[in-house]
Amino acid sequence: MVNCCGLVTDKNEPVPLKSVEVEVKVQAHVATVSSTLLYVNGEERPLEAVFVFPLPGECALCHFSAKLGDTELVAKLQDKQTAREEYDDALSSGHQAFLLEESDQSPDVFQLNVGSLPPGESAAITLVYISELAMQADDALRFCLPAVLNPRYTPQDMDSSKMATVTSVPAGVVPYTLALSAHLSSPQPVSKVESNCPLEPLEYLNPDKTEAKVSLCSGHMFDRDVELLLYYQDAHKPTAIVEAGQDSAEPGSLMRDPVVMLSCYPEFPAAVTSSLASCGEFIFVVDRSGSMDCSMHSGKDAQMRIDSAKDTLLLLLKSLPMGCYFNIYGFGSHFEHFFPKSVEYNQKTMDDALGKVKGMRADMGGTEILQPLEHIYSQPCIPNHPRQLFIFTDGEVGNTKHVLDLVKLNVNSHRCFSFGIGEGASTALITGLAKEGSGHAQFITGTDRMQPKVMQSLRYALQPAVRDISVEWNLPDRVSVTTLSPPLKVLFHGQRALLYAQLKGESTGNPEGSVTIQYSLLEETVKNQLSFCLKPTGDTGVSLHRLGARALIRSLEMEERAGGPEAKALREKLLQLSLQSGVSCTHTAFIAIHKASGQTVQGPLLHRTVPTPRMFLRGMGPPVAMCCSAPMPPMARMACMPAVPSNSMARSMAVCYDACLEVKECCDDLDDEFSSDGVQEPESLTDPLLQLISLQKASGSWDMDSSVANVLGKTDDQLANMMPKGVDKAVWATLLALLWLYGFQLEARDEWQFVAMKAASWIQAQKVGCVPQCVQAGNALLGCQVQQETLGL
């Protein structure tokens, strides 16, 4: 079922959130983010404002405060149910109250309740979280401030009352602004900063360029995720950073002891990156829910998400090595697969799959990924063909934690590569799939093309990976170590790992310690020994402690969801760790109460839901925004009637019935659009590159026919007249295709690299003796100057 629908327009509901100010402090691989949200009640009655918003999936939320005039309230972290009860009691007594809690189902969704804000008054809400920066393939560190939160689809068997209601408007009519500034500090010099949003010039704060600051240009509307790409020198250098504990914390606790963070980012030599496997079972799992019929971005001529996924499948199917196995799944409210089980890759199976890819539509309802994954894991693995999952989704999944639990349970039977499509894809889902599946995650946002990122991950899947990773500690007597992070099993080219550990005990002598990180890469063993001081001087903060606590909290939460006799003890341990570290978890919430001279509330407060931006479906636009990721069935529309709230979270589930009637007509149109009846034939490929690739055989060769000639911009006679004597037509056509790729499509090499490698291997297998003459004739025909060595021949 769809978990919510809602409508916010300028005509009927003023938005009390006026602005968002964000300060980011980056220290090497870690960002501390302070967000201040300014609320103003411009109405004549007290109101309650509810804001459901995204944060990075693996962040540690550690501070929440509210400023009312000159009064500042610092929220306390406590048991979630107790916090909810205190919040409701405070509102009933006429007090102002503030509640911040994490969603039970997805760790990247939070709900903020600003309760009983008097008429004409304002409140500045500040929340602080700490997050790791993800490493990109070009050695950049990626900071992302999520703005877009697409409502999540609730599976039929899940209690929708546990889902936070998301109210949203089309990105571009968001009624509040964003100001963001970032202070960067790193042991290595900062080379540059790039962004998907306009930035003020980068300003260096010291001569060696290890400190800098940057900010968004003024007047930025918070209508998209804000991405900063930070480039440091010597990015591959491993580090060990120690953070001192807090003297005020309980002896023996995590916050009292020092914590060390290890950074491991292996550099792969060219001999390794050029080595590719020729076996494997490749399973492509494609989201076909209704929201995949949304555009990739809001710019002109943006492609639909489902169409981009289909183009990507074409590339993948043409790039697979002969003799491997593959299958393709589509999922929505139900799922289907192209073949009953994975089939061997050859010309026939490739043609069969491509025919079915052409007919794929975003016509399968909601976003339920759990069942297709269960079906895949129930299939026996193929000996000597490692299973590799490629999952494509816009991330509008409600039961994120259950999905990740399933992937982790089956981690020993596969690797998982995940791709978040479009603005608002769940970071918890996309990064969690890759983390629990020992794979790699990619996000396709803004005007990014999906194909180069997916082909990059295919290269990772075919390349050797770092394995047999071990961490050995050399510490003084009476000092021991407790690992906070889960064991590290595998690292791919372009992947970095951060590991956290707690140092226990006191050393009376040597204040130094060291750690050795060892791993295998192909036949070589690599060792990195790092030394560190056990007692760093000065105020080192507690960021690493809280990230370490967050890593341990996530592991314990997963154990608790598995059930069993230890579940109750795990809950108590989680609660204690969360309260001790100040990092929220599923069992805790932040609450602040201002006991002003309020009077008991007579009747309900005005309820105002603050919208988040979302990418809206094709055919829809302002002023209506529909908050569902699939066509809304009639029963779901009836379910949008207002309900009597029983607590703060349930109160946020109330939605506007008139709004549902307003969007009903749009929903009916979308039902028709997403129906599988009367599906129109897909448009033919218009991209010359994809046209050429679509004509390639599974073996890597091309036939010499009119279709190939058209793509090359020549006639059949021109191809035939320039062909050297005695050369096979397929060899000539394949060599011409290679020359055209290198001569005219070099900027897109990331997309066709495997196609070209297969073609070169096929030509070499034909043992052609006149390749130099063919290259010379082909260059003359096409008007390019590509050397034979460039082609890999």
Find the CATH number of the domain harbouring 217.
2.60.40
Range of the domain at 587: 17-233+582-594
348 and 283 fall within a common domain: yes
Token pair belonging to 594: 């201002």
Residue 2 lies in a domain: no
337 and 255 fall within a common domain: no
Residue 577 lies in a domain: no
pLDDT band at 156 (very low <50, low <70, confident <90, very high): low
Segment among 50-59, 194-203, 549-558, 708-717 with least mean pLDDT: 50-59
Q: What is the mean pLDDT of residues 737-743?
A: 97
Residue 644 lies in a domain: yes
Q: What is the mean pLDDT of residues 631-660?
A: 31
207 and 248 fall within a common domain: no
What is the predicted pLDDT for the residue at 465?
86
From CA 36, how far away is CA 248, in angstroms rounded?
28
Close Cβ partners of 764 (under 8 Å, ≥ 6 residues apart): 793
Q: What is the mean pLDDT of residues 245-256?
A: 92
Q: Sign (positive/negative) of CA torsion 434, 439, 444, 445?
A: positive
Q: What is the mean pLDDT of residues 614-624?
A: 40
Q: What is the mean pLDDT of residues 563-569?
A: 88
What is the predicted pLDDT for the residue at 270?
82
Q: Which residue has the tokens 């009119």?
A: 706
49 and 178 fall within a common domain: yes
What is the predicted pLDDT for the residue at 304?
92
- Which tens digits make up the pLDDT trace of 289-340? 998 998 888 778 889 999 999 999 999 999 999 999 999 999 999 999 999 9
Strand partners, 503: 481
- Which tens digits make up the pLDDT trace of 670-717? 333 333 333 333 445 678 999 999 999 999 999 999 999 999 999 999
The rounded mean pLDDT for the chain is 84
Q: What is the mean pLDDT of residues 76-103?
A: 93
Q: To the nearest whole percent, how much of the chain has pLDDT over 90?
A: 56
759: closest CA among 684, 705, 716, 695? 695
For residue 132, pLDDT over 80 is answered with yes
Residue 610 lies in a domain: no
378 and 484 fall within a common domain: no
723 and 764 fall within a common domain: yes
Residue 25 exposure: Cα atoms within 13 Å on the Cβ side? 7
What is the predicted pLDDT for the residue at 151?
57
283 and 259 fall within a common domain: no
pTM above 0.85, yes or no: no
What is the predicted pLDDT for the residue at 224?
78
Residue 573 lies in a domain: no
For residue 56, pLDDT over 70 is answered with yes
What is the predicted pLDDT for the residue at 744?
96
In one-letter notation, the amino acid at residue 539 is D
Segment among 495-499, 595-599, 679-683, 750-754 with least mean pLDDT: 679-683
Residue 243 exposure: Cα atoms within 13 Å on the Cβ side? 22
Close Cβ partners of 245 (under 8 Å, ≥ 6 residues apart): 255, 256, 257, 258, 259, 545
Residue 576 lies in a domain: no
330 and 283 fall within a common domain: yes
For residue 599, pLDDT over 70 is answered with no
Please return the burial class of 767, using the count of CB atoms within 10 Å of its CB with bins 0-12, 13-18 and 19+. Answer: exposed
For residue 768, pLDDT over 80 is answered with yes
- Which tens digits make up the pLDDT trace of 206-230? 999 999 999 999 877 777 789 999 9
Q: What is the mean pLDDT of residues 157-171?
A: 55
Close Cβ partners of 439 (under 8 Å, ≥ 6 residues apart): 388, 389, 415, 416, 417, 418, 433, 457, 492
From CA 696, how far away is CA 761, in angstroms rounded?
14
Phi first, then psi, for residue 432 (nearest 5°) are: -65, -40
**Is residue 294 within 8 Å of 394, Cβ to Cβ?**
yes
For residue 360, pLDDT over 70 is answered with yes
- Report how far apart, in Å, the C-alpha atoms of 102 and of each of 121, 585, 586, 710 are: 27, 7, 6, 56
Q: Which of 462, 494, 517 is the last residue of a domain?
A: 462
pLDDT band at 588 (very low <50, low <70, confident <90, very high): very high
Q: What is the mean pLDDT of residues 143-172?
A: 61
What is the predicted pLDDT for the residue at 648?
39
Q: Assess whether the previous peptide bond of 189 is cis (omega < 30° from 0).
A: no
- Which tens digits make up the pLDDT trace of 446-496? 788 899 999 999 998 998 888 899 999 999 988 999 999 998 888 888 788
From CA 271, how far away is CA 572, in angstroms rounded?
50
Residue 575 lies in a domain: no
Q: To the nearest whole percent, how much of the chain has pLDDT over 70?
A: 84
Higher per-residue confidence, 297 vs 390: 390
How many domains does the chain fold into? 5
Q: What is the mean pLDDT of residues 254-260?
A: 95
Phi first, then psi, for residue 408 (nearest 5°) are: -65, -35
Q: What is the mean pLDDT of residues 530-547?
A: 89
What is the predicted pLDDT for the residue at 2?
31
49 and 33 fall within a common domain: yes
pLDDT band at 155 (very low <50, low <70, confident <90, very high): low
190 and 324 fall within a common domain: no
442 and 501 fall within a common domain: no
Residue 445 lies in a domain: yes
- Which tens digits make up the pLDDT trace of 134-149? 888 788 999 988 876 6
377 and 482 fall within a common domain: no
